[in-house]
Amino acid sequence: MARKPILGLFEDPNYAAEAGDALQRANILPQDYDFLTDAPYPEGAFGERHEKHRLYVFPFIGALIGLTVGIILTSMTQLAYPLTQGGKPILSLPPMAVVTYESTMLSAIIFTIIGILFESRLPKIKKGLYDTRITEGYIGVLVNVDEEQLNQVSGILTQAGAVDVVQET
Amino acid sequence: MAAGEHSHEGMWVFPAPEAVTQDMAEKAEAMPKAIARALAVTGILFALGIAGFVMRALDDGFGAHGPWGYYAAIFMFLFMVTGAAPLAAVAFRFTKSHWRRPLSRVSELFALLGVLNVIMFIPLMIVLPSIKNPEVGVEELEIRRSIWFETPIGAPLAWDFLGLLFLAICSLAILWLSAMPDMAEGRLTATGFRRKLYSLLAGRWYGTKRQWILHKVGLGLLGAFYFMLLVFVQFTVASDYAMSLVAGWKDSIFPPLFTLTSFQSSLGLILVTLFIMRRWGGYEQYIGVSPFWSASKILLGLTLLWAYHTFAFLITFWYGRLEIEQNVLKYFFFEAYGGAFAANLFFSFILPFLILLWNPVRKTDWGPTLAGLSALCGAFIFNLKTFVGAFNAGDVYAIFFEFIPGPTWPDLWDVFMVVGGLGAAAFIYLAATRLFPILSVWETKEGAKYQKMDTLVRGRYLVLAKPE
Amino acid sequence: MQEGRVLPSRQINADLLRSILNSPKWFWISVAFLAFFVLAAFSTAGFLINRGYGVTGLNNQVLWGFFITNFVFWIGISHAGVMLSAILRLSKAEWRRPATRAAEVLTVFSLMTAMLMPLIHTGRPWRTLYWIYTLPFVPYDFARGIWPNVRSPLVWDPSAVYTYLTSSILFVIIALLPDFAVLRDRTTGLSHRIYSVLAMGWQGNARQWKLQIIAGVLLSALILPVFVSVHSIVSWDFGMAVSIKSWHSTIFAPYFVVGAVHSGVSAVVFVMILLRWAYGWQDYIRLEHIDALGRLLVVVATGWFYFFVMEILFGFYGMESDELAVRNMQFMEQPWNILMFFFVGLTYFLPVGLWLTRSWRRNLWLMSIACISVNIGMWLERFLIFVPAQARKQVFTFNWYTYAPSIVEIMIIVGTFAMVTMLMLLLSRVVPLIPLYDIKEGDILKTQVQIGRRTVPATFRED
Amino acid sequence: MTTPKPRIDHKWGMVVDLDRCTGCQACVVACQSENNLPINTKDVFLQRRAYEWIRIERYWEGEFPNVKARFIPIMCQHCENAPCEPVCPVFATYHNDEGLNVQVYNRCIGTRYCANNCPYQVRFFNYWEPVWPERMRHQLNPDVTIRSRGVMERCSFCIQRIRRAELTVERQEQGKLDHKTMKERNFLPACAMACPTNALQFGDQGDASGPVHHYFEEANHRLEERHHRTERVEEHPSRVYRLLEEMGTKPNVIYLKRVEMFPVKKEA
């Protein structure tokens, strides 16, 4: 059966939270509803489920890759031109350390960015159900349910004090 | 972790104000066996140290500065660590951070060691070779390089000594001022000689509004003054006893590096003390994890900065091919004291960095403590390497440091002096903890007012109030 | 210490998007005015490259002049961004909120401008372009087996600066996603389509917000070490030069970094004051923010002064005649001693004097004066470190000579300032220079604690 | 890519005998014409952008009336630890295995870092495109490239002459190339050739019969034993010295102190 999104808009965060509780009572799974806000509320403000993420892995992988690339690149370029300069060794480490450090940080940061986008599931090609009022301070409760439950859910939302309930047309 | 509870377990503790006074009074009176034993042991070490000092004096006298390298090293270590320790209280009071509250008195108590520093410095004044060359030999300078170019009156000794003295006085003033409200409390609760002492020291403190305002302002001013004074004294002493004893070693980053090492190691020392108090001292309900966690970030920053300064020094000297630079590198970093430098690098940077890298570890009480401990060891090796090396670097009046000697190993008396110095410091500090309340009671109570757990929509969070 | 009231987010959107949705009339006029200078600078650079270096004031003694000074200056300015946003983010300082984005954007633009300087400075820029500037986009010219020399600080430079540039651009973009979403919802037509692409379909659900917050902290922690390394490496361009007395000093790296932060943060404060005045953002860039920045600046300035004293003092410490000659030139000889006087006064004593009093910190005019004077001073600082040392470095050669910039150099320098300002203005037309969501978050977390009769402002914290 | 193998392991060096130098500037002129240096016109001098691959520095010693002129010719010292080399981002200058500090004009991008980092002030930057009057076109040396604007240049010990000598030897002696045959070609840098008093002597440091061999022997020997000494001793006086020895640059040019027949009276 097809699942359809439905979005309730609330002015007061407390109502939104109550809507959340009501949905829980109507045993709708926590991963089926979501709170859309225009600013970060501290985690768990709506009693929503805790989001698990593996973001911290990315910078480490990135750093490792950057480190290897840096070392290979710097040593390779020095060995490729075996020209003595100023009596310094052909493979002189302190300069290597500098450039390698930069490459390490660079790739660590790039991987972090990738990680952030990946973990927050962006970019989203089709945005799904959305309402521009959310960025005006309204709090949206986005629920994904089976079609026959739609009316029940919209009832719950309006009961909880939704200013408006939007559905896909 | 309770439902919707959004702060780490045991991270924040809010002791009940009324309970604190009573409990602290009892703790101050009590004399646990452990502390008694520790006092005994450190006392013996102290005695050993004195013995070692006397023997050294008898063996070599105060003529040449060479044999006193290890004495200088241990003095510098104590000065570096204990001198910078009170800064923790000062600095975090400036930033109005609440987590500092259990930590501030612990750090301020180190002020008492300032006196020890001053006393230990006196022999070093005698052994330091004069800036003017007594008899000018072949390829020698008439005035050796030092930060006192044409030697103003009494330089360098008088100035260094005065600096240390003022430092000790200033830190004692900070301790006295910040302990005053607690001792005023102690007047009533304490018994015996403590009662007399407290009523003497607390003076006319009744906690009037005006007194509190003066208290705050006074601490702020003293703190700022202490900070500047400390940086200056570290600069003069460090460069007089290390850099200007190595002919032609010109290294402008050395004083900042010394200061940085002192910050790092003193923070480490404070964390270790806190940990001992929390685990075995029975102060668990006052010391949450938050001091460790917040301090760990700063410790990590300091660690990275230490590595950065060291690298900045190394690469500049490595790149410049000047002979003196090559010799300094060989002597202090690669050949003579190469092993020491490796150990220093490991303890001051690599180990703490690897520990503090992990957020879960930083949120414990043991993680930051371990890092702090290793930073402490790193600072110790740093001082041994630098000052023992500097004291034995040959002719101080030479044009530049040309002939590289080997490393200098300690003999028995040196070992005695080193352990003795550590013992003395520990002894004094332990004694101090019996004398003064080791937890700053007024700050703890104040903190309880400004922090609470509160609800936002559904979740419970920590609320921190910052007064203007 | 947040005064100021909590605003409804409709209000916040209206105010902060004002610069984008309806731009004032002075906007295009000023942009055109600046663009004129930028074009002039670029054509001058063309003339310079066409004719060769004879048209500058450089000579066999002073080989690095205004361009390098300006390069270091702009690199310095660029250090404001991360300094503010990263350190304040990590220390959870509430008053960072309006400052962060302007600072980061300033970072990006000043870095871009800075990197033009060494390019113009080299004798054969077209070669520099593919030989050195390809460094970040490694691997470089494999086809002809042409490698840059890793031993040279001039190769460390681009690697560091491009790392910094890339990461701060990404940093800004990530922080912009939610605000792009707001714009997407406010705009129509083409701009709507563009913003929808930029917003990447941002919804603002719990997960996205959580990662947004973590991203802020994590990226700050990662960029901070880069930021320190950048100016250190720039300083090593000079620190590695053994032959020029007073350059080969170990303290250069931290000294330059602190100086950079000093000038950079002042620049950011000035930019914030300008924004507040230009777009009427009194409710967002409040006096207490300026005040807090002022206090921070006192600390930074004093730290800088410490390093400055160390550098000078150990210059004398060596007692080497030729280094003393450089110092003598800096402090005793005209015109350098006058410049030196102004430099120390403008960089430390005047501004710190102004920042010490609370009421003066909160007076925008005095604050702007202080910040500008810091930046003039820091520009002079670089000039005084680089040029006298070269003019007096010779042990042997007879023809000592000093340096006076030619009109060509001056025009290009002016152009860089115009360029950064213009880019900032143009960007303020496209993205909000104050992060909307950050302000809103601040309002959400605001609360207060009742102690007796006094209500103390407080904030919710998640640890 | 690898550096070309040396045909025989040369290590070129020059010895400047200050006792013989009369400061006649012949070397300067010879160098200018040999190496296609642009003409130092008056305003080039006034801009302080003159090219002097070798220059004679003149110092006055003593008070009038008993005053002496001191001359010291300074050219690129071809240091072993040249500070100018490692700072070049594009390998435009490096140390080849004949002990020469070589400049690759095609690589140079003109950062001018090397010139900043040269303690002897012997590197010169082409501020303008070099121009010669029409009728002087034919006196340009075909063996030496003309440097375009925006590159550094400096004394090369007339490397073109070294190479030509090697080529001729290879052509005539069926390539049996050794110190002897090389010396028979008796090539010299322009300055050394032009010097009327033989103040400038050039040769292979390894060539025991050469003019410079024993001076370098002595100098290197002194350096060696100074490094292995552990305390200061009185060294026996010697004429041999290098410029700015404390910089640790180890130049391949050696100077011989002037012998004072009638030393200038110093005022007490």
Q: What is the pLDDT of residues C346-380, one digit of tens each?
A: 999 999 999 998 899 999 999 999 999 999 999 99
Which chain A residue has the Cα nearest residue B357? A60
CB-CB under 8 Å, D86 with B138? no
> What is chain B's mean pLDDT, rounded?
89
Q: Helix C100-121 and helix C252-279: axis angle, to 10°? A: 120
pLDDT at D47: 86
**Higher-scoring residue by pLDDT: A42, D233:** A42
- Phi first, then psi: what are they for D8, rounded to 5°? -130, 155
The span from the CA of C381 to the CA of C339, in Å, is 9
What phi and psi values does residue D13 have, to the nearest 5 degrees?
Answer: -155, 160
Mean pLDDT of A115-126: 85
> CB contact, 8 Å: C220 with chain B?
no
For residues C136 and C430, give the distance between their C-alpha atoms in angstroms, rounded to a whole number.
28
Sheet containing strand B451-456, edge to edge, reads B451-456, B459-465, C454-461, C446-451
- Mean pLDDT on B388-416: 89
For chains B and C, CB pairs below 8 A equal: 126
The H or E element containing residue D244 is none
Give the integer Cα–Cα distance in Å for A77 and A94: 15
Name which of B358, B381, B425, B360 is nearest B261 in CA terms: B381
Share of chain C above pLDDT 90, in %: 48
Helix, coil or strand: residue B5: strand
Q: Partners for C (CB, 8 Å, 3+ pairs)? A: A, B, D
What share of chain C has pLDDT > 70, as a percent?
Answer: 95
Q: Which helix (H) or strand (E) holds B460?
A: strand B459-465
Is D94 an 8 Å CB contact of chain A? yes
Q: How far is CA D260 from CA C90, D19, D20, D94, in A?
A: 71, 9, 12, 38
Closest in C156, C200, C209 to A99, CB measured: C156
Cβ distance B277 to B283 under 8 Å?
yes
| Cα separation, C61 vs B312, whole angstroms | 28
Q: Touching B: which chains, 3+ CB pairs < 8 A?
A: A, C, D
Asked if A85 and D83 come within 8 Å (Cβ–Cβ), the reply is no
For residue C135, pLDDT over 70 is answered with no
The per-residue pLDDT for C164 is: 92
- The set of chains that have 3 or more CB pairs under 8 A with D is A, B, C
Contacts of D248 in chain B (CB under 8 A): 321-323, 326
Place of tokens 């003054």: B225
Interface of B with C in 235-264 (CB under 8 A): 235, 248, 250-256
**Burial profile C99-122: b = 16 or more Cβ within 10 angstroms, e = fewer:** bbbbbbbbbbbbbbbbbbbbbbbb
Name the closest residue on chain D to residue A77, using Cα atoms: D1
Residues of B in contact with A97 (CB under 8 A): 311, 315
Q: Chain D closest CA to C360's CA: distance in Å? A: 45
- Are D83 and A80 within 8 A, CB to CB? no
- Per-residue confidence at C2, pLDDT binned at 50, 70, 90? very low
Between CA C199 and CA C178 the distance in angstroms is: 7
| Contact between residue C84 and residue C268 where contact means Cβ atoms under 8 Å apart | yes
Distance separating alpha carbons of residues C428 and C23, to the nearest angstrom: 9
Chain B (420-459) residues lying within 8 Å, Cβ to Cβ, of chain D:
none
User: How distant is the alpha carbon of residue C359 from its chain centre?
Assistant: 27
Taking alpha carbons only, the member of C117, C227, C210, C254 closest to residue C171 is C227
pLDDT at C80: 79
Q: Which helix (H) or strand (E) holds B392?
A: none
- pLDDT, position B4: 43
Q: Which residues of A touch D81 (CB under 8 A)?
A: 86-87
Binary contact (B321, D249; C-beta < 8 A): yes
Tell me what percent of the residues of chain B surpass a pLDDT of 90.
52
CB contact under 8 A, C249 and B452: no
Task: Specify the DSSP element, H or E, that contains C457.
Answer: strand C454-461
Does ipTM surpass 0.90 in this model? yes
Distance from CA of A155 to the nearest CA of B (A): 22
Tokens 């010169």, residue?
D124
Q: Which residue has the tokens 């495109």?
A: D129
Q: Span B131-155, mean pLDDT?
A: 80
Q: Given this model, what pLDDT does residue A166 score?
A: 86
DSSP D162-215: HHHHHHHHHHHTTT---HHHHHHT----HHHHH-TT--EEEEETT-TTSSSHHH
Contact flag B4-A44 (C-beta cutoff 8 Å): yes
Contact B145 C319 (CB under 8 A): yes
Mean pLDDT of C117-140: 75
pLDDT band at B3 (very low <50, low <70, confident <90, very high): very low
Mutate to test the interface with A, among B310, B458, B461 (most CBs of A within 10 A): B458
Q: How many CB pairs under 8 A join B and D?
A: 27
- In Å, the largest CA–CA distance within chain B is 83
Q: Which amino acid is at D105?
A: Y
Round the average pLDDT of chain C to a whole number and report it.
88
DSSP, collapsed to helix, strand or coil, labels residue B204 as coil
Quote the distance between the C-alpha of residue B34 and its chain's center.
24
Pairwise CA distance, residues B303 & B379, whole Å? 11
Q: Do A84 and D94 touch (CB under 8 A)?
A: yes
Q: Report the alpha-carbon distance of residue B43 to residue B49 in Å, rounded.
A: 10
Residue from D222, D225, D246 whose CB has the most chain B CBs within 10 Å, to mutate: D246
Interface residue ranges in chain A relative to chain B, Cβ cutoff 8 Å: 13-14, 16-17, 20, 41-47, 56, 86-87, 94, 97-98
Residues A46 and B129: their CA atoms lie apart, in Å, by 72
- Residue C140 confidence (pLDDT): 55
- For B322, the closest of D86, D231, D247 (CB atoms) is D247
Residue with tokens 């080497």: C320
Q: What phi and psi, each to the nearest 5 degrees, are found at residue B457?
A: 45, -90
The residue of chain B nearest to residue A20, with distances taken between CA atoms, is: B458
> Over its length of 268 residues, how does chain D's per-residue pLDDT go in tens digits?
444 444 567 889 999 999 999 999 999 999 999 999 988 889 888 888 888 899 998 888 888 888 888 899 999 999 988 999 999 988 899 998 888 999 999 889 999 999 999 988 899 999 999 888 888 888 899 999 999 989 999 999 999 998 888 888 878 766 666 777 777 777 889 999 999 999 999 988 888 888 899 999 998 888 888 777 767 777 778 889 998 888 888 899 999 988 877 766 655 4
| pLDDT tens-place string over residues B57-89 | 998 888 888 899 999 999 999 999 999 999 988
Q: Do B462 and C316 touch (CB under 8 A)?
A: no
Are A83 and D80 an interchain contact pair (Cβ–Cβ within 8 Å)? no
d(CA D243, CA D123) in angstroms, rounded, equals 16
- Tokens read off for D255: 């100077």
Shortest CA distance to D89 belongs to which of D110, D118, D119? Answer: D110
Q: Which residues pair with B455 in a beta bridge?
A: B460
A47 touches chain C (CB under 8 A): no
Residue from A137, B457, A11 nearest C8 by CA: A137
Tell which residue, D143, D145, D137, has the closest CA to residue D162.
D143
Which range has the worst mean pLDDT, A40-54, B412-426, C276-290, D175-189?
D175-189
Whether chain D has a CB inside 8 Å of the CB on B323: the answer is: yes
Is D1 within 8 Å of A81 when comparing Cβ atoms?
yes
Q: Read off the pLDDT of each residue in A54-59 and give the average, rounded to a whole number.
A: 90
Of the given ranges (C2-6, C29-33, C245-249), which has the lowest mean pLDDT?
A: C2-6
Most B-contacting residue of C92, C230, C317, C361 (CB-CB within 10 A), to test interface = C317
C141 pLDDT band (50/70/90 cuts)?
A: low
CA distance A79 to chain D (A): 10
Sort out which chain B residues have CB atoms less than 8 A from C298's CB and list them.
none
DSSP 8-state assignment for residue D259: P
Residue D226 in tokens: 């100074």
Sign of torsion over alpha carbons C158, C163, C164, C169: positive
Please name every residue paired with D202 in a beta bridge, in sequence order, or none if there are none: D14
Question: In the predicted model, what is the mean pLDDT of residues C290-306?
Answer: 92
Q: What is the mean pLDDT of residues B188-202?
A: 84
**What three-state secondary structure class fits C463?**
coil
Chain D, 136-195: which have a CB under 8 Å from a chain A CB? none
Asked if the Cβ–Cβ distance from A94 to B315 is below 8 Å, we say yes
D95 touches chain A (CB under 8 A): yes
